[in-house]
């Protein structure tokens, strides 16, 4: 299963927090909050037992929705099967941290920011199988236009196809010395720019690119 | 076992006809007197290594390796023995396909093909360190100007040597070209002025004056002091021009012709001695004074 994003939405449809795990474009957080709240209300109105909408598939991505009192958690994945344990953990942890604050919340979204680390921690507990794909292809022109400090890392990755930080560092060091700390920084920057992806395999972060 | 080191040099120019291929061949052959060398024709728009060496029919072009997954072994020709039995090292040559079809194909090269070529070049650098090649030096003769294939070579080579003729257009264009490439790549960049009248070489005062002017021009365009190293001058005399002309006439008449490799056939010629003196600088092998 690939986890693409997590959204925390208030009862009235405002997105309190969203966290993306993927370069692939997922819907705008503000729009998504309103959309799912409206869908939820529509689903409740249309069913006699006031049953809530649990999952919806849009353009190949599955949106799993669960209510936890004053909030809803939306987890976006690549599979229709609901990741029940993860979504429950996310909702309960959020309510434990912010339940009381939400009672008379002053609309300050910044107070939820520390929960980003909790989301990453929960999603990261079982990272195996998570793949963050690059959104841009590497080619001569793109590499040429990269800041020159990123070029050796991009070239090394292009040469070996995929690898751990250690393997990429070894490849770079065939031509010029660069320590693994610097390589990590350049990998992070290349990932932010959308040129490289990451997958978690047997406890290792494997970086890769597409051409 | 320690990984064998391979030093690579890209030879480039802003315009054609500045003697780039001739310099590449002469450097490669001189190095092959004692080392294993690979000389690659990456000038797909105007391949010219075929005018220096006779390509065997069973050898594939380097285009086939770079773009069509042909094994490297089938695309490099070992020519040391055909050149001179006294060469202690070996020289492998990769010829670019000079047919009109191939040139047209490479003119249309797109981003997808360029990245395939870049990947193949990087794979080649690794493979050349191994048997049967065991290469010490890789010299790549590039197309004039700035195309994808040139950028690919600059991305993979240790150093880039720009050959310039002392004409206004070429000097200005080369300086601008280097500025554009250096800004992005920050690679080790060297400049060598070719085809300088021998009379000028003998005038030390004028030579230093012009060297200063050239260095200032590069510094101004590139905006960084010492980013580019100006190596000096390669002389040309009437005798050299005459020989080239006579060989061209022979070829036109359908007679057997081959261009002279000075560092092999006339190592005491001023062209050879000047170039040989510069080789350690090209590969950062200068001995401390």
Spell out the SS3 assignment of chain A: CCEEEEEEEECCCCEEEEEECCCCCCCCHHHHHHHHHHHHHHHHHHCCCCCCCCEEEECCEEEEEEEECCEEEEEEECCCCCCHHHHHHHHHHHHHHHHHHHHCCCCCHHHHCCHHHHHHHHHHHCCCCCEECCCCCCCHHHHHHCCCCCHHHHHHHHHHCEECHHHHHHHHCCCCCCCHHHHHHHHHHHHHCCCEEEEEECCEEEEEECC
At A77, give phi and psi (nearest 5°): -135, 180
Residue A102 above 80 pLDDT? yes
**Alpha carbon distance A53, A62 (integer Å):** 12
How many C-beta neighbours within 10 Å does residue A194 have?
Answer: 14
Reduce the DSSP state of residue B141 to 3 states and report it. strand
State mean pLDDT over B184-205.
85
What is the band of B1 on the pLDDT scale with cuts at 50, 70, 90? very low
Among residues A84, A47, A43, A41, the alpha carbon closest in space to that of A62 is found at: A84
The stretches of chain B forming alpha helices (DSSP H) are 20-31, 62-68, 80-83, 100-107, 111-127, 148-156, 168-185, 198-202, 204-222, 238-252, 262-265, 270-282
* Out of A137, A141, A159, closest to residue B122 by CB: A159
ipTM: 0.81
How far apart are the C-alpha atoms of B30 and B247, rounded to whole Å? 22
Cβ A147 vs Cβ A192: under 8 Å: no
User: In the structure encoding, which two tokens stand for residue B112, read together?
Assistant: 């997808």
Mean pLDDT over residues B194-223, rounded? 85
Contact A151 B115 (CB under 8 A): no
Q: Which residues pair with A62 in a beta bridge?
A: A57, A77
Q: Which of A51-55, A103-107, B177-181 has the highest mean pLDDT?
A: B177-181
Backbone angles phi, psi at B189, to 5 degrees: -125, 130
* Contact status of B180 with chain A (Cβ, < 8 Å): no
B116 to A211: CB separation less than 8 angstroms, yes or no: yes
Q: Is the pLDDT of residue B189 over 70?
A: yes
B185 touches chain A (CB under 8 A): yes
CA distance B45 to chain A (A): 18
Pairing verdict, β A15-20 and B188-197:
unpaired
Q: What is the largest CA-CA distance in chain B?
A: 54
**Please, what is the angle between helix A180-192 and helix A151-160, to 10°?**
90
Sheet of B77-78, strands arranged across: B77-78, B90-94, B36-42, B137-142, B7-13, B159-165, B188-197, B228-236
pLDDT at B45 exceeding the cut of 90: no
For the stretch B112-147, pLDDT in tens is: 788 999 999 999 999 999 999 999 999 999 999 988
> CB contacts < 8 Å between A and B, how many?
51
Stronger pLDDT, B207 or B107, i.e. the higher one: B207
Residue-wise pLDDT for B81-99, tens only, equals: 888 767 889 999 999 999 9
Give Cβ neighbours of residue B164 (< 8 Å, ≥ 6 apart): B13, B14, B18, B170, B171, B174, B191, B192, B193, B194
Interface membership of B114 toward A (CB under 8 Å): yes
pLDDT of residue B162: 96
pLDDT-based confidence at A126, cuts 50/70/90? low
Distance (Å, rounded) from C-alpha B288 to C-alpha B276?
17
Domain boundaries, chain A: 3-126, 131-209
Check whether domain A3-126 has CATH 3.30.450.70, yes or no: yes
For all residues of chain B together, what is the average pLDDT?
88
Residues B61 and B75: their CA atoms lie apart, in Å, by 5
Residues B185, A143: C-beta atoms closer than 8 Å: no
pTM comes to 0.73
A143 contacts on B by Cβ (under 8 Å): 118, 155
Other CB atoms within a 10 A radius of the CB of residue B14 amount to 22
Report the mean per-residue pLDDT for chain A.
83
Q: A142-151, B197-206, B275-284: which range is least confident on average?
A: B197-206
- Report the pLDDT value the prediction gives residue B85, as an integer from 0 to 100: 67
What average pLDDT score do residues A74-94 get? 86
Distances (CA, A) of A88 to A92, B170, B210: 6, 69, 76
Model confidence at A196: pLDDT above 70: yes
Residue range A45-58: mean pLDDT, rounded: 71
Per-residue pLDDT for B61 more than 50?
yes
Query: Who among B117, B156, B185 is closest to A148 (CB)?
Result: B185
Would the pLDDT of A26 be above 80? Answer: no
- Check CB contact of B119 with chain A, cutoff 8 Å: yes
Strands A131-132, A196-201: parallel, antiparallel or unpaired by DSSP? antiparallel
Choose among B123, B148, B158: nearest Cβ to A140.
B148
For residues B42-64, average pLDDT: 92
State which residue of chain B sits closest to A148, comparing Cα positions: B185
* pLDDT tops 80 at residue A204: no
Three-class secondary structure of residue B76 per DSSP: coil
All residues of chain B having their beta carbon less than 8 Å from the beta carbon of residue A151 are 155, 185
Longest dimension (CA), chain A: 69
pLDDT above 50: residue A138: yes
CATH 2.60.120.10 fits A131-209, yes or no: no
Calpha distance A159→A153 (Å, rounded): 10
Classify B226 in phi/psi space as left (phi over 0), alpha (psi -120 to 50) or beta: left
């Amino acid at each position: 299963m690939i986890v693409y994003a997590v959204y925390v939405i208030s009862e009235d449809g405002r997105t309190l927090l969203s966290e993306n795990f993927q370069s692939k474009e997922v819907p705008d957080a503000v729009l998504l909050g309103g959309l799912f709240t409206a869908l939820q209300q529509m689903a409740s109105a249309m069913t006699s037992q006031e049953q809530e909408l649990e999952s919806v598939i849009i353009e190949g991505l599955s949106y799993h929705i669960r209510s936890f009192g004053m909030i809803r958690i939306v987890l976006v994945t690549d599979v229709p099967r609901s990741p029940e344990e993860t979504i429950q953990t996310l909702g309960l942890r959020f309510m434990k941290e912010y339940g009381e604050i939400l009672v008379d919340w002053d609309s300050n979204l910044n107070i939820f920011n520390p929960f980003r680390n909790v989301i990453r921690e929960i999603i990261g507990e079982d990272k195996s199988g998570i793949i963050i794909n690059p959104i841009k292809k590497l080619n001569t022109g793109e590499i040429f236009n990269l800041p020159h400090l990123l070029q050796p890392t991009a070239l090394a990755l292009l040469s070996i196809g995929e690898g751990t930080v250690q393997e990429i560092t070894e490849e770079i060091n065939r031509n010029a010395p660069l320590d693994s700390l610097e390589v990590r920084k350049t990998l992070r920057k290349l990932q932010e720019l959308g040129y490289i992806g990451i997958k978690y395999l047997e406890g290792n972060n494997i970086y890769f690119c597409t051409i | 076992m320690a990984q064998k080191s391979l030093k690579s040099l890209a030879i480039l120019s802003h315009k054609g006809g500045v003697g780039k291929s001739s310099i590449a061949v002469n450097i490669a052959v001189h190095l092959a007197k004692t080392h294993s060398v690979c000389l690659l024709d990456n000038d797909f728009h105007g391949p010219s290594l075929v005018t220096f060496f006779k390509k065997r029919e069973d050898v594939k072009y380097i285009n086939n390796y770079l773009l069509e997954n042909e094994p490297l072994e089938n695309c490099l020709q070992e020519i040391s023995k055909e050149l001179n039995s006294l060469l202690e090292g070996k020289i492998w040559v990769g010829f670019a396909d000079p047919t009109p079809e191939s040139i047209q194909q490479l003119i249309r090269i797109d981003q997808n093909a360029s990245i395939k070529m870049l990947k193949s070049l990087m794979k080649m650098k690794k493979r050349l360190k191994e048997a049967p090649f065991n290469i010490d030096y890789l010299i790549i003769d590039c197309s004039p100007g700035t195309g994808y294939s040139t950028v690919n070579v600059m991305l993979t080579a240790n150093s880039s040597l720009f050959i310039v003729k002392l004409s206004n257009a070429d000097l200005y264009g080369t300086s601008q070209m280097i500025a554009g490439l250096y800004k992005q790549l920050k690679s080790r960049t060297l400049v060598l002025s070719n085809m300088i009248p021998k009379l000028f070489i003998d005038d030390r005062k004028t030579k230093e004056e012009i060297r200063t002017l050239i260095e200032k021009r590069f510094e101004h365009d590139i905006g960084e002091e010492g980013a580019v190293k100006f190596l000096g001058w390669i002389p040309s005399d009437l005798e050299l021009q005459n020989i080239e002309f006579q060989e061209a006439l022979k070829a036109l008449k359908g007679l057997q012709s081959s261009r002279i490799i000075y560092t092999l056939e006339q190592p005491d010629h001023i062209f050879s001695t000047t170039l040989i003196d510069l080789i350690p600088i090209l590969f950062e092998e200068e001995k401390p004074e």
